Amino acid sequence: MYAMDYHHHTNHSFDSTASMVEVCKKAIENEIKEICFTEHFSVNPLAPTYGHMVFENYLQEIRYCQEQFHTQLTIKAGIELCEPHLLKEQYDETLQPLDLDFILGSVHNLKNQKLRLALKEDPVTAYERYFTELYHMVSTADIDIIAHFDLMKRYAYKEYGLYNFQEHQEIIEQIVKKAIDRNIGMEINTSGLRTGLKQTLPSIEILRLYKELGGEILTVGSDSHTAKDVGANLAEAYALAKQCGFNYIYKFEKRKPIAVKIF
Please write the tens of the pLDDT for every residue from 122-152: 888 999 999 999 999 999 999 999 999 999 9
What ranges do the domains of the chain cover?
A: 4-261
Confidence of residue 118 (pLDDT cuts 50, 70, 90): confident
Confidence of residue 262 (pLDDT cuts 50, 70, 90): very high
Confidence of residue 121 (pLDDT cuts 50, 70, 90): confident
Confidence of residue 102 (pLDDT cuts 50, 70, 90): very high
Over residues 187-194, the mean pLDDT reads 98
Give the model's pLDDT for residue 33: 98
Give the model's pLDDT for residue 96: 94
The overall average pLDDT reported for the chain is 96
Q: What is the 3-state secondary structure (H, E, C) of the chain?
A: CCCEECCECCCCCCCCCCCHHHHHHHHHHCCCCEEEEEEEECCCCCCCCCCCCCHHHHHHHHHHHHHHHCCCCEEEEEEEEECCCCCHHHHHHHHHHHCCCEEEEECCEECCEEHHHHHHHCHHHHHHHHHHHHHHHHHHCCCCEECCCCCHHHHHHHHHCCCCCHHHHHHHHHHHHHHHHCCCEEEEEHHHHHCCCCCCECCHHHHHHHHHCCCCCEEEECCECCHHHCCCCHHHHHHHHHHCCCCEEEEEECCEEEEEECC
Of 3.40.50.300, 3.40.50.2000, 3.20.20.140, 3.40.640.10, the CATH number of 4-261 is: 3.20.20.140
Confidence of residue 36 (pLDDT cuts 50, 70, 90): very high
Over residues 157-184, the mean pLDDT reads 95
Give the model's pLDDT for residue 119: 84
Percent of the chain with pLDDT over 70: 100
Say if CB 152 and CB 132 are below 8 A apart: no
Over residues 183-192, the mean pLDDT reads 98
Give the model's pLDDT for residue 240: 98
Give the model's pLDDT for residue 176: 98
Give the model's pLDDT for residue 116: 86
**Is residue 209 pLDDT above 80, yes or no?**
yes
pLDDT in tens, 217-246: 999 999 999 999 999 999 999 999 999 999
**Is residue 120 pLDDT above 90, yes or no?**
no
Give the model's pLDDT for residue 161: 87
pLDDT in tens, 47-81: 889 999 999 999 999 999 999 999 999 999 999 99
